[in-house]
Amino acid sequence: MSFVSISRAVFYVAVAFVLSGCEEDVTAVVGTEHPFSMWGVLNPLSDTQYVRVFPIEGTLNRGEPLPLDARFVSTDLETGEEQLWRDSVLVDERGIVGHVFYAPLTVDYQHTYALAITGGHGATASTEVEVPIRTTLTLVEPDTSVGVILPGLVLNNPPRLVRNELTFGASYIRGFTDGGCPLYVYRQYSVSYDDRIREREDGWWFVVNLREVHGFVETRALEDPFYLPPFGITFGFLRFDTIVANEAWNPPNGIYDPNVLVEPGTLSNVENGFGFVGAGYRLSRTWTLLNHVVEKSGFRADYVSC
């Protein structure tokens, strides 16, 4: 092996690598045929519907404060009625331009609406959204035979109930004034009831155990060093909230984790686009409880006076 042959080999290898690496430009964003992403909820209790629309772009820029070059139409697939939506251009505190399309429209229960947005280039993103059935939340008479059991029922078996929450308030004494008046502190808590609601033939049932509620509040009160247990805890209120949702409104594992749902396609019902448009409405009921029911649960029904 001579110097000349080695040098020549080195030269050829170098030239080969140079020629193979001439490309300098890089395509960081390959683009997609999907034109838009849509996010929103059709609410039959509202007389105006809103959907936020993001054009899918090649760069992450702030956008121009101009209406989108797009046509947004909703169609009631039961009646064939079409509605043209209008763009409202919003600029947030970061200077980023946003687009929320809206229409003076009251959606009907159990109707399905087709939402379609077509860009100036002709590409359309669309979705079909079914509005869930109308229902009511009924509170059944308390059962005080064993503890204090408060059943509730959402009638008509709507497809899904989401964000089921029990909210309750209570007060307890943390001391007395020089004049002997009690110093009450008010506490309010919300706990998820997603795991406690069951579907039966006549609707979605749930059961509130008021003694459990009392135990929950008492446990937290005992963590307060100023709480005076001999005076008990006075019941405030008890409310159940839920959202009646359509079938599509169903995140993976029933969990609304933004770090999971942010991945495109994870909770999506938009054709040729991304995003999610659900349909639903809130239901909420507050219990009115008699004093003996309250007291049987361990709460006080009254307040200590001065």
Partner 1 sequence: MRRLAFVRATTIHSSFFSGLVDQLKAPFGSAAWRPGWLLLVLGCLLVPASAHAQVATVNGFVVDQEDRQPLELVNVVLQEFSGAVVKGTVTDRDGLFLISQIPPGTFVLRATFIGYETYADTLSLEAGETYTQNITLAPDQALLDEVVVQTERESGAARVTAGQQTVRPADIELIPAPDVSGDLVGYLTTLPGIVSTGDRGGQLFIRGGEPSQNLVQLDGMMLYQPFHILGFYSAFPSDILSRADIYAGGYGARFGERISSVIDVWTRTGNKRRFAGAASLSPFLGSVQLEGPLIPNRVSFLFSVRESMIERGAEPLLDERLPFNFGDIFGKIHADVSTRARLSVSAINTHDRGTLVEASPETPSEEIRWENTAFGARYLYLPSFLPVSADVRVTHSRLDTELGTMDAPSRTSSISNTSISLDGTFARDETSTEAGLALRFISSDTALGGLFQNTESKSVGIDHLAFYFEPEWLIGRLHIQPGIRAQWFAIRIDPFLEPRLRLEWDLGNHTISGAAGRYVQEIIGLSDRRDAASIFTAWTNIPKFNPGQPDVLADNIPAATHAILGYRTTPTDWLELSVEGFYKWLDNLFVSEWTAFPRFTTRLQRATGRSFGFDTRLELRRQPYFYSYINYGFSNTQYEAKQEALELWYGEETLRFRPPHDRRHQVNALLSTQLYGFDVSFRWEFGSGLPFSRALGFDGFVLIDDIVDVINEPYSRRVIYERPYNAVLPTYHRLDVSVDRTFAVGQLDVTVLGSVINVYDRRNLFYLDVFTLQRVDQLPFIPSLGIKVSFD
- DSSP of 253-277, one letter per residue? GG---HHHHTSTTSS---BTEEEEE
Q: Which of 107, 102, 117 is nearest to 78 (CA)?
A: 107
- DSSP of 114-130, one letter per residue? EEEEEETTS-EEEEEEE
Q: Which of 165, 196, 171 is nearest to 184 (CA)?
A: 171
Of the residues 4, 146, 262, 306, which one makes contact with partner 1 according to CB under 8 A: 262
Q: Say whether residue 4 binds partner 1 (CB under 8 A).
A: no
Of the residues 4, 28, 146, 306, which one makes contact with partner 1 according to CB under 8 A: 28
Q: Say whether residue 256 binds partner 1 (CB under 8 A).
A: yes
Q: Say whether residue 137 binds partner 1 (CB under 8 A).
A: no
Q: Say whether residue 62 binds partner 1 (CB under 8 A).
A: yes
If the CB atoms of residues 55 and 151 are measured against partner 1, the closer one turns out to be: 55
Alpha carbon distance, N-terminus to C-terminus of the chain: 108
Q: Say whether residue 27 binds partner 1 (CB under 8 A).
A: yes
The C-alpha atoms of residue 228 and residue 207 are separated, in whole angstroms, by 30
Q: Say whether residue 265 binds partner 1 (CB under 8 A).
A: yes
Of the residues 8, 12, 47, 57, which one makes contact with partner 1 according to CB under 8 A: 57
Q: Say whether residue 103 binds partner 1 (CB under 8 A).
A: no
Shortest distance, position 167 Cβ to partner 1, whole Å = 14
Q: Say whether residue 98 binds partner 1 (CB under 8 A).
A: yes
Q: Say whether residue 240 binds partner 1 (CB under 8 A).
A: no
From 74-82, 184-192, 267-275, 286-294, give the range in contact with partner 1 by CB under 8 A: 267-275
Q: In what order do the strands lie in the sheet with 273-286?
A: 124-130, 112-119, 70-76, 82-91, 97-103, 49-55, 36-42, 273-286, 233-245, 160-176, 182-192
If the CB atoms of residues 20 and 219 are measured against partner 1, the closer one turns out to be: 20
Q: Say whether residue 109 binds partner 1 (CB under 8 A).
A: no
How many residues touch partner 1 under the rule CB under 8 A: the total is 70
Of the residues 104, 175, 215, 252, which one makes contact with partner 1 according to CB under 8 A: 252
Shortest distance, position 16 Cβ to partner 1, whole Å = 10
**Can you tell me whether residue 186 is helix, strand or coil?**
strand
Q: Say whether residue 21 binds partner 1 (CB under 8 A).
A: yes
| Alpha-carbon distances, residue 302 vs 135, 174, 180, 182, 250 (angstroms) | 35, 16, 17, 13, 42
**Alpha carbon 222 to chain centroid, angstroms:** 33
Of the residues 24, 141, 178, 223, which one makes contact with partner 1 according to CB under 8 A: 24
- Among positive and negative, which fits the CA dihedral 265, 271, 272, 275? negative
Q: Tell me the two tokens of residue 204.
A: 């979605």
**Can you tell me whether residue 32 is helix, strand or coil?**
coil
CB of 174 within 8 A of CB of 183?
yes
Site for partner 1 in 163-192 (CB under 8 A): 163
Q: Give the binding site for partner 1 (CB under 8 A).
A: 1, 3, 6-7, 10, 13-14, 17-18, 20-21, 23-32, 34, 36-37, 39-41, 43, 50-52, 54-62, 88, 90, 96, 98, 100, 162-163, 243, 249, 251-252, 256-267, 274-276, 278, 280-282
